[in-house]
Amino acid sequence: MKHLRDERPTLPSVRVIYADLDGTILGPGGSLFAGPHGGTTLAAAEAIEALHLAGLDLVVMSGRTRRSAEVARSLGAKAFIAELGALVVEGFGAKERVIRTDGVGKRSTFDAILRNGAGGFLLERYPGRLLPVAPWAEVALQLHGLVDATEVTRALAEAGYGRLELRDNGRLRRMYTELEVDEVRAYHLLPKGVSKASAVRLHRERHGIEAAEAVAVGDSPADLEVAGEVGSFFLVANGVDAIGDAEPWPPNAYVTEAERGDGFAEAVRCVVGALRSRGGAADT
């Protein structure tokens, strides 16, 4: 792994920052002002102000549903990616446009997953290890628990659900009495090919943004995949445990010293500082 304390990325003229929400911009409890280890911090809020003043667009990426991800609007985001890449939402109010990335139009993939039995199959196969959540989703069946996502996807294929895969969106702080696990992670059961990375690619192509003109910040395996769609990727320090021994480590990925919102702020300072050195950022 490459750390920002040892090496800085070469950043050309960046136009957009794709940033994960929970565990990256937001601290414990989903608060913008909660410090990584208690207390309060203004680092993430000041970083958001700095990126806007520098003329950078913010696009929020989240595993949250479209409704619960709308906190992105309060951060001044130009767009937000919901349900781990299943939905790209642009605009506000009457001008809002929701782009589905699963290729099924207005039909509910979530309902289809419930009807075809894939969700029930997972709950029966992994009793005490998976719990369904967020029933108001439009595409993904969201689950919390602890399993090997690669092994689960293989089991789905063997059971006749080969069009679906389980994706890991990182570790959660909360625990459930209903689960017999030592830690809890967030998972999404999605059509194959749907991911934060594919949603970032779609957004870039829609707006004529080259990969080199984008950076991303995140804390989970699903976020790390975005490294292939941007010029530079920053993993906030609390994401190291979630990633584990990811191989190969993307050559354009860097780990921040700080966690959560403080780590996000560290990444933003790196980007804005590079823009200033090139004369491409407004004074802040």
Total structural domains within the chain: 2
pTM over 0.95: no
Write the Ramachandran bin of 62: left for phi over 0, alpha for psi from -120 to 50, otherwise beta: beta
Residues 9 and 63 in one domain: yes
Residue 117 and residue 83 share a domain: no
pLDDT tens digits for range 135-169: 678 888 999 999 999 999 999 999 999 999 999 98
22 and 162 inside one domain: no
Q: Give the CATH number of the domain where residue 131 resides.
A: 3.90.1070
The whole-angstrom separation of Cα 140 and Cα 158 is 20
Kindly report the backbone phi and psi dihedral angles of residue 227, in degrees, each rounded to the nearest multiple of 5, phi listed first. Answer: -55, -30
Question: Are 166 and 242 found together in one domain?
Answer: no
Question: 8: domain range?
Answer: 2-101+195-277
Within a domain: 282: no
In this structure, is residue 284 part of a structural domain? no
Residue with tokens 């130009």: 78
Residue-wise pLDDT tens digits, 233-283: 999 999 998 787 666 889 999 999 999 999 999 999 999 999 888 775 554
207 shares a domain with 117: no
Distance CA 95, CA 31 (A): 28
- The pLDDT-based confidence of 116 (bands split at 50, 70, 90) is confident
Residues 96 and 17 in one domain: yes
82-117 b/e with 16+ CB inside 10 Å = b? bbbbbbbbbeeeeeeeeebbbeeeeeebbebbeeee
At which of 129, 161, 191 does a domain end? Answer: 191
Residues 180 and 137 both lie in one domain: yes
